[in-house]
Amino acid sequence: MSSNEFRSYVFLPEYILEYVVGENNPRIDPDLFITKATPSQIVEVILAFHPHLQFTENACNNHELLLKVFIEMIAPCLSRLVTSFNHNQNYVQALCRAPIYIPAESTRVINSSVDLDTKRIGDFNLWGLTNFKNGKYRLASKQLNAYFLNTYKYLNKEELDELKSSETNAIKALHETLHHLQDSHVSIKSIQLRLCQPKLSRTKREDLEEQLKCAKASSRSRQDMFNMGVQDIGFVTAFLKHHRDILDKHQLSHSAN
């Protein structure tokens, strides 16, 4: 996924209907599912919720790992779904009782339990990634320092890579703002040149002066946005460098021991 989103439904394999219990208030029973589902079915349901995860063959054959991921990341959501029998092909559309907020994440390769600390991932998404993706860089830094780093001490490579994409997006946004700012200056100069023309009628001059006033106001607003964008990029770049240095020191210390 490339951006944050609120999801109000999820497409699940049709066989999930075998694990629906309750007549008056039907729901999917996660415990019943994990007692009967095959490893490949567990993986398929996990990926329905978290398509950014990529399981290696070793991970797909590690039943203990799959159960850990399912219980910690999927079961709480699965039990709250409302199944719809208007299914399409081999899948059923299950509605969420309330929208699920899903922060954008890069592809994460899972080979063993070492690659997936679900508690850490959840905390990182809560205290850092969500705000970073929404451009709230300073709030993210403050909350990471106050909560996340008190527990985990440093940001790992995967977490820094996630935040790196925010720096790329900020640079793209700055380039777009610069383009708009340039357009504003072109508009201002164009109007000023037209005002220098001889024999302008009073009405035309007043119209151009009003256009110039609006163009200058737009230019000031875009200049403020550009200045803020420059500051944001400087902050994000410094933040990432600072935490890469901390990670390097941690890895060096760890290898020395």
Q: Do 112 and 11 sit in the same domain of this protein?
A: yes
Show the domain range for 217: 157-255
Residue 78 lies in a domain: yes
Residue 196 lies in a domain: yes
Question: Structural domain tally of the chain?
Answer: 2
Say what the pLDDT of residue 105 is: 56
Residue 77 lies in a domain: yes
Q: What gap in Å lies between CA 109 and CA 14, rounded to an integer?
A: 26
Say what the pLDDT of residue 231 is: 94
Residue 128 lies in a domain: no
Q: In 3D, which of 14, 105, 90 has the Cα closest to residue 51?
A: 105
Say what the pLDDT of residue 110 is: 76
Could you give the 3-state DSSP secondary structure of residue 26? coil
Q: Which residues of the chain have pLDDT under 50?
A: 1-6, 85-89, 94-101
Q: Do 111 and 161 sit in the same domain of this protein?
A: no
pLDDT tens sequence across 5-33? 445 567 888 888 888 888 777 788 889 99
Distances (CA, A) of 156 to 46, 48, 178, 246: 24, 26, 33, 10
Q: What gap in Å lies between CA 188 and CA 137, rounded to an integer?
A: 33
Say what the pLDDT of residue 44 is: 92
Residue 139 lies in a domain: no
Per the CB < 8 A criterion, the answer to whether 106 and 52 are in contact is: yes
Q: What gap in Å lies between CA 111 and CA 57, rounded to an integer?
A: 8
Of 66, 91, 116, the domain-final residue: 116
Of 58, 87, 116, the domain-final residue: 116
Of 116, 147, 175, the domain-final residue: 116
Residue 53 lies in a domain: yes
Q: Do 17 and 111 sit in the same domain of this protein?
A: yes
